Amino acid sequence: AGKTTLVKMLSKLDNFEISISHTTRQPRPNETPNKDYFFVDENEFKRFIKNEEFLEYAKVFNNFYGTTRTPVIDNLNKGKNVLFDIDWQGADQVKNKNLDYKLISFFILPPSREVLFERLSNRDMKDKLIAEERMKQFDRDVLHWINYDYVVINDNLESCYVKIKGLIAAEVINRSKETLNKDIDTGEIEVSLESFPILGTCGELPMPVFSDQEYSEEIRLKYRFLDLRRKKIHENIILR
């Protein structure tokens, strides 16, 4: 659905870092080891599991994927915002860790099953051979969208990116409101709103330009799990 590309775009924002996963699958032609993934064999991956080094891991399409805990926690402790490019299995595990950090989850969907098949088929030949298998898995995976904070349909990459950036901004502003009373005595504010500009309008979700004075819980809730979004997902994905 384009989540890897979106993660790379978001990583260019100030103070954002991508969490690099370990995987047992072979590199694709356009991937760089130790930059896109840490490519390891299954024995090494299972050693990570045995030593409880993973924050999350899952088996996806006969390959293992996992995120080691130490680099993530180190970046968070440095004040970095960490971006995960993981599936619903890994996302559930991270949520269940109850970490002392703000977690915002996005479920990225293609505009239709047909578009997803086309995107998968445009990869290298090996991926073309398993496109049908991935489509069958998609019909099951899509049912997990309800467990995410936000559902975003990637019908246009740039507008999808702007939409996600705007939703992050709304969450950041809400967090600053929650911490304002704690910080007022010292004059310290934990987040900088200037790092998250909200640009224009995105698809069917018009994003207002928030300011610290204008923000309210009502605005945040308005853009969370809209009935319009549920209807669109149901019509475009599940029923096709």
pLDDT at 170: 81
Which pair of structure tokens corresponds to residue 135? 């489509």
Tell me the one-letter amino acid at 142: V
The CA–CA distances, whole Å, from 111 to 9, 101, 104, 156, 203 equal 20, 31, 22, 9, 12
Q: Which of 60, 21, 48 is nearest to 37 (CA)?
A: 21
90-102 confidence digits (pLDDT tens): 999 999 998 888 8
- Average pLDDT in the chain: 74
Q: Residue 169 in contact with residue 210, Cβ under 8 Å?
A: yes
For the whole model, what pTM was predicted? 0.70
152: β partners: 108
pLDDT band at 220 (very low <50, low <70, confident <90, very high): very low
Answer yes or no: are the C-beta atoms of 97 and 74 closer than 8 Å: no
What's the number of CA atoms in the CB half-sphere (13 Å) around residue 92? 9
Please state, in angstroms and as integers, the Cα–Cα distance from residue 21 to each residue in 8, 51, 228, following that order.
14, 17, 34
* 18-46 residue pLDDT tens: 999 999 999 988 899 999 999 999 999 99
